[in-house]
Amino acid sequence: MDRSSVVAVLAMLVVSGAVSAQAGPTQQELEDATRSTEWLLPNHDYGGVRFADLKQITPATAPSLRPVCQFQGADLIRSQSNPLVYRGVMYVTTTYSTIALDPVTCRVKWRHDWKAKAKEGNTSVKNRGVALKDGKVIRGTQDGYLIALDAATGAVLWEVQIARPERFEAVGMTPLAFEDLVIVGPNGSEYGVKGWIGAFRLSDGQQVWKFNTIPDDGEPGADTWGGADARLKGGGAIWTTPSLDVAKGLVYVPVGNPAPDFFASLRPGANLFTNTMIVLDARTGALQWHKQGVPHDTHDWDLPVVSPLFTTMIGGAAKNVVTMGGKDGLLRLVDRDTRDQLYEVAVTTRTNVGEAPTEEGTYACPGVLGGMEWSVPALNPRTDVMVAPAVDWCGTFKKDDEPRFIAGQLFMGGSFTYDPIEKSRGWLTAVKASTGEVLWKYHSSRPMLAAVTATAGGVVFTGELTGDFIALDESDGKVLYRFNCGGSITGGVISYAVDGKQYVAVVSGMAAGFWQAQPGSMTLTVFALP
């Protein structure tokens, strides 16, 4: 190498160092994620729109997609992780591990394995992915920790136990990074937690604010429970990704179901803020407003979906709206300014929804598994098409003769008997986002749980419980490409570009036992055109 080329190489190193993954993403980059062709936030951007502005893969080219690389996480636990891609590095999780890898070759750059330091909060063991900001990779753990890793090396920067595993809290959701805060809360509604969401300092994990989703005495909503006892194990945990209105600095938080799920006479009232979209000042945690999906729930019909959050033209006027969806099987659009509901569409079978479980049993749809679960709709803002995944699996809800709280165990106050597996199915429903008009439906032989991604190429990507990754034509729902990944797809499906080439990454593996699905080891498969 001659002198001039050495200088050139050194200069390149300096330049690439300056723009390497270590520094970002910055707040500005996160706010601009809507336009990014990488994938910076769990649902792509703060609004959770899940639209990738990429168009190499079109209905014409999609049939020639093929897998280009695979990573295996060697994890036989629920695989729901949503990968992120930033500056040419992908970050994905298994239940106990965090992995940085090359999003084109799947080669691992670093891997961090968490060894539990405390008793694990509950038996609903899972992790849904990381948040990324200012050179840090932040995630939760089953034993209640929030940890920050160095994005460049995987070294632990800080670890703080934010949740109380002794009260059955575990942190499985994807945290949300905003300014100098990480917004996150524990799951565990079924285990009789008393829910909350908090903000922790990005620099050291110290708590900045906390909002009780199940109120303490004197807090708003406390009088909707018929007494303090019911609130102590009232559920209302957080398990899915909030959305954020950046302009107003408001975080939209999806709150889970009340406990005990089926024995509602123990908690007379609306049971705020369960099954509710709560809107908080992201910087202080102060409650601005809320909208409840299912008051006084008797069927475990959480409200896990509070995105996409977007602005659209309705009746000739620009409206700020947010999508609200739940395990009750309703996809709703809400005006963020007037707070009125603009429409609701049933995306699954709904029968006997008003009948509370009895000891003899009450048949109802949706069943205990929804409806809409943890994967949110994707929206193509250019075509006004929103595509929502859903579960369709009815069954019989039974109330216990004797509801019993057993520490660390499911606190259902009853049981649910599923219809035979052959009767379980799933739907993708495409609606005109501004009006709710149904455009098409895709029927899956099993419940649909995978993330959905819309793209500028007019192709929608998602996966099925059977293990199939599918690419559909956004205009009519026809399947353009199908590939069996070998294990259930219940997690992230994202699309991004590296060096101008479009890729799709799909996480497959294990689904929780009650889905009765093809078991598999956690695997990430990347697809591209030849």
Partner 1 sequence: MWFDRHDPMEKRWPVRGFRLAAPGRGPIGPLWFGAGLCLALVTGRTHAGDSASGVYSEPQALRGEALYVQHCVACHGTHLEGSPAAALTGPAFRARWEDGTHTLDDLYYIVRTLMPNTAPGSLSKAEYADVVAYILRVNGYPVGAADLVPKGAIMKPVVLQPH
Q: Are 379 and 308 in contact (CB under 8 A)?
A: yes
Q: Which stretch binds ligand HEC (CB under 6 A): 222-230, 333-341, 408-416, 464-472?
A: 408-416
Residue with CB nearest ligand HEC?
513
Tell me the C-alpha distance between 421 and 516, whole Å. 8
Rounded to 5°, the CA angle 378-126-393 comes to 60
Q: Is 67 in the site for partner 1 (CB under 8 A)?
A: no
Q: Which does 58 bind (CB under 5 to 8 A by kind): partner 1, ligand HEC, none?
A: none
**Residue 269: which of partner 1, ligand HEC, none does it interact with, CB under 5 to 8 A by kind?**
none
Residue of 58, 409, 435, 521 that binds ligand HEC (CB under 6 A): 409
Asked if 513 is part of the footprint of ligand HEC (rule: CB under 6 A), the reply reads yes
State in angstroms the smallest separation of the CB of 512 from ligand HEC.
6
User: Residue 510 touches which of ligand HEC, partner 1, none (CB < 5 to 8 A by kind)?
Assistant: partner 1
Write the single-letter amino acid at 182: V
Beta bridge partners of 137: 132, 149
Q: Which of 354, 367, 361, 420 is nearest to 394 (CA)?
A: 367
* Shortest distance, position 75 Cβ to partner 1, whole Å: 10
The C-alpha atoms of residue 205 and residue 201 are separated, in whole angstroms, by: 5
d(CA 517, CA 432): 32
Give the number of residues written for the chain. 530
The least CB distance from residue 120 to ligand HEC, in Å, is 10
Regarding 10 and contact with partner 1 (CB under 8 A), the answer is no
Task: Check if the beta carbon of residue 116 is closer than 8 Å to that of residue 95.
Answer: no
For residues 311 and 409, which CB has a smaller minimum distance to partner 1 in the complex?
409
Q: Which range of residues in 193-201, 241-249, 405-413, 449-457 is near ligand HEC by CB under 6 A?
A: 405-413
Angle 276-281-284 (CA atoms, 0-180°, nearest 5)? 120
Question: Cα angle at 57 between 53 and 58, to 5 degrees?
Answer: 100
What residues pair up with 182 in beta bridges, in sequence order? 177, 200
Q: What angle (nearest 5°) sits at the alpha carbon of residue 165, between those of residues 160 and 169? A: 95
Instruction: Select from 5-13, 224-232, 437-445, 512-520 the region that touches ligand HEC (CB under 6 A).
Output: 512-520
Q: Would you list the DSSP string of 468-530?
A: EEEEEETTT--EEEEEE-SSB--S-EEEEEETTEEEEEEEEBB--GGG-------EEEEEE--
Return d(Cα 434, Cα 436) in angstroms, integer. Answer: 6
**Greatest CA separation for the chain:** 85
Nearest approach in angstroms of CB 190 to ligand HEC is: 8
CB closer to ligand HEC out of 293 and 467? 467
Binding residue for partner 1, selected from 290, 398, 425, 446, defined by CB under 8 A: 398
Binding mask 349-388 for ligand HEC (x = CB under 6 A): ----------------------------------------
Q: What angle do CA 138, 140, 141 make, to 5 degrees?
A: 135
Question: Please, which of residues 407-426 interact with partner 1 by CB under 8 A?
Answer: 407-412, 414-418, 421
- Out of partner 1, ligand HEC, none, what residue 119 binds, judged by CB under 5 to 8 A for its kind, is partner 1
Radius of gyration of the chain (CA): 22
Q: Which is nearer to ligand HEC, 383 or 516 (CB)?
A: 516
Kindly indicate which of the ranges 91-99, 323-331, 457-465, 507-515 contains the residues binding partner 1, using the contact rule CB under 8 A: 507-515
Site string for ligand HEC, 104-123 (x = CB under 6 A): -------------------x
Edge-first strand order for the sheet with 317-325 is 309-314, 317-325, 330-335, 341-346
Q: 318 or 406, CB closer to partner 1?
A: 406
Assess 420 for contact with ligand HEC (CB under 6 A).
no
| Binder of residue 120, out of partner 1, ligand HEC, none (CB less than 5 to 8 A by kind) | partner 1
Instruction: Report if residue 516 touches ligand HEC, rule: CB under 6 A.
Output: yes
Residues numbered 73-112 forming contacts with partner 1, rule: CB under 8 A: 76-78
Segment (H or E) for 14: helix 3-18
**Among residues 97, 124, 127, 444, the one that binds ligand HEC under rule CB under 6 A:** 124
**How far apart are the C-alpha atoms of 504 and 195, rounded to whole Å?**
35
Interface contacts to partner 1, rule CB under 8 A: 76-78, 119-120, 123, 125, 192, 229, 232-233, 266, 398, 400, 403-412, 414-418, 421, 510-516, 519
Interface contacts to ligand HEC, rule CB under 6 A: 123-124, 408-410, 512-514, 516
